[in-house]
Amino acid sequence: MLIGRDLGTAAQLNLALFCDDEGNSVRITVLGALQGVAGGLAAEVVVDTPFVAGRVNLSLWRSRLTSWGEALDRLEAGEDIAWLHVQRGPSIFIHLSSERDCPEVVVEDDLASMVTVRVPIGLPADWIATHRRLLGAVLRAWDDHLSPK
């Protein structure tokens, strides 16, 4: 499903990586150019915990990457976020505090599998800055490919 890109350079960039010492992780990885869709990127959301593991495909465009940056701004301001909610494909929710006294990442795939997974993850203090760097790396690597909007 990848086209038009040297897979050794820009593919396989993490857009998000939430993980802790308990073995819980949620990762969003850009896989490469989205076949048949100009300006789109193929990505996947991967959940891996000692209890459950799964993955779901995700399509990204510049507008979705911009909205991820805006979501990081809201998180930094202390707000919970819903990213890609009410759009085609999976949704990502981040609750800054949960029943387990740590952030919780929720992956909801209402369209295909109709499964929701909640993953409590103890995150380091600089996790938002780290995610801004990941977003910047994806934008730099794929800027020429992404559609203008």
Q: Per the structure, how many domains does the chain have?
A: 1
pLDDT at position 91 is: 96
Residue 5 lies in a domain: no
Nearest residue to 128 via CA among 44, 69, 83, 82: 69
Q: Which residue has the tokens 């949960």?
A: 98
Q: Which residue has the tokens 């897979």?
A: 7
CATH code for the domain in which residue 86 is found: 2.30.31
Whether residue 149 lies inside any domain: the answer is no
Can you give the residue range of the structural domain that contains 25? 13-142
Asked if the structure places residue 4 within a domain, the reply is: no
In a domain, 50, yes or no: yes
Place 148 in a pLDDT band, splitting at 50, 70 and 90: confident
Of the pLDDT bands very low, low, confident and very high (cuts 50, 70, 90), residue 11 is low
What is the tens place of the pLDDT at every residue in 92-139? 999 999 888 899 999 999 888 899 999 999 999 999 999 999 999 999
Task: Let me know if residue 121 belongs to a domain.
Answer: yes
pLDDT reading at 147 higher than 90 = no
- This prediction has a pTM of 0.89
Helix, strand, or coil (residue 129):
helix
